Every structure is written in structure tokens, then in C-alpha cells.
A and B are shown apart, each in its own frame.
Chain A
Amino acid sequence: MSVQTIAMLVKLGAFLIVLLTIIPVMVWVERRGGAMMQDRPGPNRLGPFGLLQPLADAGKFIFKEDITPSESDRLLYLLAPVLALIPAFSTFVVIPLGPTIEIAGVQVPMMVAPAETGVLLFLALASLGVYSLVIAGYASNNKYSLLGSIRASAQMISYELALTLSVVAVLLPVGSFRLDRVVEYQIDGVWNIIPQIIGFVVFLIAAFAETNRLPFDLPEAESELVAGYHTEYSAMRFACFFMAEYAAMTVLSALAVTLYLGGWHLPGVDLASMGILGVVIGAAVLLAKVGAFLFFFVWVRWSFPRFRYDQLMAIGWKGLLPLAIINLIWVAAASLAGWL
């Protein structure tokens, strides 16, 4: 096998292990963090600080009865949870972990798929995520599930536009779709969050909507729709949706960090000249930034109430979209003038 193939497999393995580890940790952070913000203890019985609680949760999910409603569309019903996992666990391939290094005379970029299409590939794969929600709700043959699906599809289309436009603004001065170029561009200049603060805010809000997190969790709004699109799901199939949500949050945070906060860049340290050590430090820096983002997700969830449906649409079309366009025009003008 060539160096490239081996390097790709190693990167793939490392990414998957990290992603699969983040999910149970995030469940713990969510429950303990939420408890902290609501001034209650939260799960604290199992292990130190309740750290073993996610393990107990996983055990419970595995051994619970797996129910398929008799009037459901069986094939689609079983397909939906699997479809939920695919985009969540495939989009990370374009995120750079660290600087490009040279192994045995071969330049190895620190992303799993150094494709020229870069962030477009991320957006294309991420946009498929909505189908699992829609199929789940439709196949369940339950009115609450169906309402959740309809909401999910409308919400995704509305917020994807703003999200994509804010990403376009980042790519404009860089001149490439590859995220490692985006990071290099930020190392040479300033982090994109400074000239593109509007784009960053738009991206952040749209990211909440794309991952169905409060205050945008209308597809599963438990006070109106029981549990929305996954009302009928139980045991591991429910856990699949759960895992997909946390994985999607993690990869979107990683994308946000890479686009706006310099990715693996540590100011004042030249990681690119440190070889393999630079990659390790870079990956740790990236992970720390992603962690901060994930905590922000939890923080917002336990701080804000859910939007009404018409508010959701108004924010998406009348708020975020114009802001994203303004940001795009500003960045285009600034690039043309040579400021960026």
C-alpha cells in the first residue's frame, strides 16, 4: 500500500474514534451542564461526577424492546435511523486536523479526503441529513411524526440557504473550496471571525437550525408533537437519531471553527514547521475549540425557549438571509478593494 492509502486509513480511524468518543461525553455534558444551569444535581450516581452515566444509557438502549408499529411502512421505517447516521459520520472527511506534513517524501494533507470540492462536499453530504427525518416521520404513520417531518423539511430548506451563503463569503477571498486553504489564509491574515462577524453569527444561528437544536427543535417539539419525527422509535433505533444529532453538532462545530476561528491554528506558534508534533498539537487545539463550541450549544439549549413556527420562518427568510447577503456583498467589495 502506498503512503497515501495508509495515511488516509489512519486519519479515518482517528477521526471516527474521536467522533464516537465525543458523543457519550457530550451526552454527559448536556445532562450535567443542563442540571448546573437549572441548579439541580443531574445524574451523579454512576462513577465520579456521574461520568459513567452514558455507558448505562447505552446499555439501556441496547436491551430495550425494539418496537415497529404494525401500520408503519416497514422498509422506510428501518431505513431512516441508518440514513440519519450516514451524513453525520461522513461529513468530517474534509475537515483539516493539522498542517500538511511530509512522510517518506510524500505531502500528506491532514484531512481524510483532500478533494478539490472541499466544503461543497461537506454541504452536499450534510444536506442529505433531512431525508432521515422526513422518511422517519412519514414511515411511522403517525400524525405527530408526520408534522415533525414537514416542519423539518421546511426548516432545512430555509436555513440551508443562509448557511451556504455565509460559507460562500468565507471562500470568496480564499479562492478555494479546500478547507486547509481556508486555514492557511487565516494564518497569513486574521481569523475570519473579525472581518466577517455578521457571517459568523448567521452561520451559528443556521447551524442551530440545521442540527434541530433548541431554540429551533420544532421537528421534535416535545410539548406539541410528543417527540416529533422519532415518536415511534425505541431502543437502538432511537439512539441512532440521538447519536446522529450529537455527531452533526460536532462536525458543524468543527466546520465553524475551521471557517471562522482559524481551525487548528494556535496564534504565535508555527505548527507547520513542527512535523508530526505540529499535527498532534493542531488536532488538540481544534478539539479544544470544538469543545468550546459544543458547550455553547448546550448553554443555548438550556437558556432559550423554542421559537414559534411563524417566527422560525420569519427569522430564516427575513432575518438571516438578508444578513447573509449583506455579508456576502461586504466581503466581495472588500476583496475587490484588496482589504481582505
Chain B
Amino acid sequence: MELAIFLIFSALAVVSALVVVTHRDPVKSTLSLVVTLFSTGVLFLLLGAPFVGVLQVLVYTGAIVVLFLFVVMLLNLQREARSEGGGRLQRVFAIAGALAFLATSGVAIWRSAAGTAVGALQQDFVSLTAFATELFDRFLLPFEIIGLLLLVAVIAAYVLARRPEGSVAAAIDEHHAGSGAGGSEVTR
């Protein structure tokens, strides 16, 4: 039973993750992401970490991807044009990122095969109190750093999305902002 659930949801997670990166329709990509994150949540439940599993569904599936969908639907609903692979720098970073990921997961698999894994989930990790203690005590610094990272990402998105002043687009934008009360505010 447990094995069947694991197989179904891990297969679902992998397939939907592939759909996320390959599908041409941004809305469908995002919807696949929902399936990926939900399946990962179920996998956490199977691992005996119900809190992480439920939080995964609550935060990612239920809130963050909804935000993605909102932005995607609001901005561009056309099918993605096949771009010619971005810049040279982008490719270098993409390959480096993929290699880093492969190395990390390779080390993890090798370690667990050799029986020297960092540690299986402890039983007290399941309870909320132990989970909170771990998160806000032992892992406080990584936790804060992730928070900082998210803040940087928000600022970066704002800077990237801001149109250069004096451009035609900005002028049109200004014009719309003057005429519409609520709608154009949301668009920006």
C-alpha cells in the first residue's frame, strides 16, 4: 500500500515536473507545478513528516502557485515563443546549476547507499514542538538567510520589472494610470 502510493506520487511528481519545463502554454506549466508540489507533499507524509507535508500543500500549492497563476494570467496568455536559448552566460549558469544539482543528489544517494546518510527522520521530528525547536534553534541561521534571499528576490523582481523612465511604454503606462482608478494599479 505504502509502496504503491510512493510509486504513484513520485512518478506523478517527476512527470509533472517535466511538463512544467517543457510545456509551451505558461498556464499549463503552472498547473503542472501544482501537481508536482502536491505530490511532494504526499511524499513528505509518507516519510512520516505530516507537518512538512501539510505545510508544503498549504504554502506552496495553496498560496504561492496561486500567485504565479495570477501573474501569468494577468500578463501574457500567449503560447511561449521558442527563444533561441538566451545568452551565452545563461547557458553557462544553466549547465553549472545542473551539474551542481547532480553532484549534490549523487553524494546524497551514495551516502545513503553506504549507510552513512546525514540521518533518517527522527521520531520527534514528527511532533510540532520538536520541529519548531529544530527550525528556530539549530537551523536559525539558515532560516534567516533564506528569508533574506527571498527579500533580495523580491527587490530584484521589482528592479527588473520597472520600465526605464521616459520610454514609450512608461508614457503609455502613465496615461493609463491617469484614466483608470483601480484596474491599472493592479496591472503595474
Q: Are A and B co-members of a single complex?
A: yes
How far is it, in angstroms, between the C-alpha of A120 and the C-alpha of B59 when the chains are bound? 11
Asked if B50 and A134 sit within 8 Å, CB to CB, the answer is no
**Selected interface stretch from B112-120, B146-154, B179-187:** B179-187
Asked if B57 and A177 sit within 8 Å, CB to CB, the answer is no
Check B96 for interface membership: any CB of A closer than 8 A. no
Asked if A131 and B34 sit within 8 Å, CB to CB, the answer is yes
Check B107 for interface membership: any CB of A closer than 8 A. no
Residues on A with beta carbons closer than 8 Å to the beta carbon of B128: 116, 177
Asked if A127 and B58 sit within 8 Å, CB to CB, the answer is yes
Check B125 for interface membership: any CB of A closer than 8 A. no
Check A123 for interface membership: any CB of B closer than 8 A. yes
Asked if B63 and A157 sit within 8 Å, CB to CB, the answer is yes
Asked if B62 and A127 sit within 8 Å, CB to CB, the answer is yes
**Selected interface stretch from A145-153, A231-239, A284-292, A318-326:** A145-153
The listed residue (A76, A115, A121, A154) touching B70 by CB distance below 8 A is A154
How far is it, in angstroms, between the C-alpha of A292 and the C-alpha of B186 when the chains are bound? 37
Check A56 for interface membership: any CB of B closer than 8 A. no
Query: Taking CB as reference atom, which chain A residue is nearest B129?
Result: A175
Asked if A124 and B54 sit within 8 Å, CB to CB, the answer is yes
Q: Least Cβ distance of B68 to chain A in Å?
A: 9
Q: Point out which of B54, B61, B128, B185 has the most chain A C-beta atoms below 10 A from its C-beta.
A: B54
Check B27 for interface membership: any CB of A closer than 8 A. yes
Q: Render B85-122 as a binary contact track against A, CB cut-off 8 A, 1 for contact.
A: 00000000000000000000000000000000000000
Asked if B57 and A124 sit within 8 Å, CB to CB, the answer is yes
How far is it, in angstroms, between the C-alpha of A76 and the C-alpha of B34 when the chains are bound? 14
Give the size range of A's interface with the partner.
Answer: 20 to 34
Asked if A157 and B61 sit within 8 Å, CB to CB, the answer is no
Residues on A with beta carbons closer than 8 Å to the beta carbon of B182: 308-310, 313
Chain B stretch 168-188: residues in CB contact (< 8 A) with chain A: 181-183, 185-186
Asked if A127 and B63 sit within 8 Å, CB to CB, the answer is yes
Q: Render B28-52 as a binary contact track against A, CB cut-off 8 A, 1 for contact.
A: 0001001000100100000000110
Query: Taking CB as reference atom, which chain A residue is nearest B71?
Result: A153
Q: Point out which of B62, B63, B182 has the most chain A C-beta atoms below 10 A from its C-beta.
A: B62
Check A128 for interface membership: any CB of B closer than 8 A. yes
Asked if A153 and B70 sit within 8 Å, CB to CB, the answer is yes
How far is it, in angstroms, between the C-alpha of A134 and the C-alpha of B69 when the chains are bound? 8
Which A residues lie at the B interface, using CB under 8 A?
76, 115-117, 120-121, 123-128, 130-131, 134-135, 138, 146, 149-150, 153-154, 156-157, 160, 177, 308-310, 313
A-B contacts, 26 listed (Cβ < 8 Å): A76-B31, A115-B50, A116-B50, A116-B51, A117-B54, A120-B51, A120-B54, A121-B54, A123-B58, A124-B57, A124-B61, A127-B62, A130-B62, A134-B69, A149-B73, A153-B66, A153-B67, A153-B69, A153-B70, A153-B73, A154-B70, A156-B66, A157-B63, A177-B128, A309-B182, A313-B182
